[in-house]
Amino acid sequence: MSTHAIDVDVLRETGQGIATEEMTLNMGPQHPSTHGVLRFVVKADGEVMRRAIPDIGYLHRSIEKIAEKVGYHGFMPYTDRVDYVSAMQCNQGWAMACEALAGIKVPRRGEYCRVIASEFGRLASHLLSVGATGMDIGAVTPFTHAIREREYINDILEELCGARLTFNYMRIGGCAWDLPPGFVGRATKFLDRFEPLIDEYNELISFNKIYVERLANVAVIPREMAIAYNLVGPNLRGSGVKYDVRKDAPYSVYPEFEFDVPVGTGERGTLGDSYDRYMVRMREMKESCKILRQALAGIPEGPVVAKVPRTFRPPVGEAYVRVEASRGDMGWFVVSDGTAFPYRVHIRTGSFAAMAIIEELSKGLMIADLVAVIATLDIVAPEVDR
Amino acid sequence: MGLGTYVRNIRETLETIFEGMAITASHFVRKPFTIQYPDRTEIRVQDSLPFRYRGLLDVDLEICTGCLACERACPIDCIVIDAEKDKQTKEMILKRFDIDLAKCMYCGLCSEPCPTGSIHHTPEFEGADYSLESLVRRFVKAPLVAYKPPKGPETDPEVAPILARGLRYLDEFASPGDPKAGE
């Protein structure tokens, strides 16, 4: 396997390198390329890292504890803040967990609205991720291109639910509002314009030789390691494991749609390198467009929300549901003791697993590659801490 | 690395950079996307926002029934209402209706259970101020009698248009629209 990793100890023993003293560096918590408030304690020998130890907890807001205080309906706006880059899927996870507790069936139109909202959320999240990857390793222009399209998606979602980031769109039993008049036409028009732009974006940056050299063969996660570290979502698929909750443990109306699950191929380097993870996200955007087109074309008539009492008291029990969020398998665990407030809520997020692998990955990488690793693992700090 | 690889790498780098640069250059002839906020927009930004936009909260006290549904629905308790029932006249007297906009997270959960559409989000979003104290909106200046919906349609010419606005708001925002919408 040819990788960029350099073993400092071997260099020192063979006398090839200039032996320097180990240096402890602080990266973050306010570093611009750490995607939020993250801190790494980097032990480095010159430019080469021995290890980077992630220090988490700067964005801990006790969201799980808040759920025990505000009740089932009132917790919905807080789920937006779990992962604010793709809030729709968090909404969906919480709603599905409560529905599983109480055995509520969502109307079909409601499920379609959820899928449409979620997939637009996934597009917005992946656009930010691929744009920020470019910016973190020194290409600023692609970021503006990605953010430009993300603004249009925000416009669409704003029309749907009245907010651009913290949507609070879904409710227990369905969605808060139906699609506004003319929504289908405008959304389809956006997709017609957006799909060619993915190819343009690829030409702009993805195939750029310098860009490829910065990502290919960097921070390779072999298949077994990805599974052992419990990686999920595009990070896992980048290592060649074809696993997607939408396909393998289907929920909502996803079984009705035709779409592929893109996996890493090692096209420019080794299977599971940073470039594979990046390209999986680019290809997933195309698949999301496919799902959106089918959902917009086939949306049935009917109500969008089931009848749910305003004081929601589910029976005693517990429920665990999984949704495929933009950063992978997101698990929502809720325990009910029969009152209007949940007894315990726990959220399992993809970024937390991705954070755990960084210490292992960073051995022998250059310091400048650490930002590429964070960017391609698509770590969002609030999702790590919650 | 042989000389051939070296030269090929340079050639590939230059080619791919020019491909990217061509796209960047093509933006000279494309329509610009940037909107110069706030003074160079054709209409006020507030007027261009969709109807469901969740901006600063406002209350129409003329149609507030004092039912406290919004206060109960708020997950962060940013709404405080003092309402008392007058023993003699059997009317609800509103003494206090405060919304702390510094706490508000604009989730919209308060405007959903409102029976008349009295509490509602406006498209206003420019709420910057110099102190937290001034972000507390006190709607009740002096104690007043809460609105009591009549049996039939509203006849008071002053209240009728406000109630019509409130009910339209409920129709289009707070309750799921008719299934034909979105066509």
Q: State the Cα–Cα distance between residues B180 and B183, nearest whole angstrom.
A: 6
Angle (nearest 5°) at CA A365 between A360 and A370: 80
Question: What pLDDT is attached to residue B36?
Answer: 82
In residues, how long is chain A? 386
For residues A304 and A241, is the Cβ–Cβ distance under 8 A? no
Q: Is A209 in contact with B17 (Cβ distance < 8 A)?
A: yes
Instruction: Say if B4 is an interface residue toward chain A (CB within 8 Å).
Output: no
Q: Which of A120-129, A136-145, B33-42 has the lowest mean pLDDT?
A: B33-42
Beta bridge partners of A49: A44
Residue at A215: amino acid letter: L
Residue at A270: amino acid letter: T
Q: Which residue of A has its CA nearest to B50?
A: A159
Of B20, B107, B113, the CB nearest to A77: B107
Instruction: Say if B71 is an interface residue toward chain A (CB within 8 Å).
Output: no
Confidence class for position B70, pLDDT limits 50, 70, 90? confident
Of B20, B177, B179, the CB nearest to A177: B177
- Mean pLDDT taken over chain A: 85
**Tokens encoding A320:** 């665990």
Of B20, B74, B121, the CB nearest to A208: B20
The dihedral sign for the CA sequence A228, A230, A236, A241: positive
The dihedral sign for the CA sequence B38, B44, B50, B52: positive
Angstroms from A52 CA to nearest CA on chain B: 31
The dihedral sign for the CA sequence A239, A280, A274, A210: positive
Q: If we measure between CA atoms, which residue out of B44, B88, B61 comes closest to residue B162?
A: B61
Q: Produce one character per residue of B158-180: b if its CB has 16 or more CB atoms within 10 Å, e if not.
A: ebeebbeebeebbebbbebbebe
Q: How far is CA A255 from the centre of its chain?
A: 21
B88: pLDDT strictly greater than 50: yes
Q: Pick from A333-342, A369-378, B31-40 the range whose average pLDDT is largest.
A: A333-342
Q: What is the mean pLDDT of residues B7-14?
A: 88
A2: pLDDT strictly greater than 80: no
For residues B178 and B99, is the Cβ–Cβ distance under 8 A? no
For B104-155, the pLDDT digits (tens) are: 888 888 888 888 888 888 888 888 888 888 888 888 887 887 777 777 777 7
A166: pLDDT strictly greater than 50: yes
Instruction: Say if A71 is an interface residue toward chain B (CB within 8 Å).
Output: yes
Query: What would the DSSP string read from start to end of B125-151?
Result: -----S-SGGGEEE--SS-EEPP---S
A95 or A139, greater pLDDT: A95
For chain A, give the percent of residues with pLDDT over 90: 11
Confidence class for position A15, pLDDT limits 50, 70, 90? low
Q: How far is CA A63 from the centre of its chain?
A: 18
Please name the residue that has the structure tokens 């993805």: A206
Q: What is the mean pLDDT of residues A99-103?
A: 88
Confidence class for position B171, pLDDT limits 50, 70, 90? confident
Q: Is A162 in contact with B53 (Cβ distance < 8 A)?
A: yes
Q: State the Cα–Cα distance between residues A64 and A146, nearest whole angstrom.
A: 32
Instruction: Say if B138 is an interface residue toward chain A (CB within 8 Å).
Output: no
Q: Is B182 in contact with A183 (Cβ distance < 8 A)?
A: yes
Q: Is A178 in contact with B13 (Cβ distance < 8 A)?
A: no
Q: State the Cα–Cα distance between residues A55 and A58, nearest whole angstrom.
A: 8
A3: pLDDT strictly greater than 60: no
B84 or A5, greater pLDDT: B84
Best residue in A76, A111, A178 for a mutation probing chain B (most B CBs within 10 Å): A178
Residue at A324: amino acid letter: E
Q: What is the mean pLDDT of residues B59-73?
A: 84
Instruction: Say if A304 is an interface residue toward chain B (CB within 8 Å).
Output: yes
Q: Which residue of A has its CA nearest to B182?
A: A181
Q: Which of A19-28, A67-76, A217-226, B174-183 has the lowest mean pLDDT?
A: B174-183
- Mean pLDDT taken over chain B: 81
Interface subset of A 87-116, CB within 8 angstroms of B:
109
What ipTM was estimated for this complex?
Answer: 0.80
pTM of the entire structure? 0.86
A116: pLDDT strictly greater than 50: yes
Question: What pLDDT is attached to residue A334?
Answer: 92
Q: State the Cα–Cα distance between residues A43 and B130, nearest whole angstrom.
A: 44
Q: What is the mean pLDDT of residues B56-70?
A: 84
Question: What pLDDT is attached to residue A6?
Answer: 61
For chain A, give the percent of residues with pLDDT over 70: 94
Instruction: Say if B67 is an interface residue toward chain A (CB within 8 Å).
Output: no
A306 or B156, greater pLDDT: A306
Instruction: Say if A154 is an interface residue toward chain B (CB within 8 Å).
Output: no
Q: How far is CA A262 from the centre of its chain?
A: 15
Of A74, A174, A181, the CB nearest to B109: A74
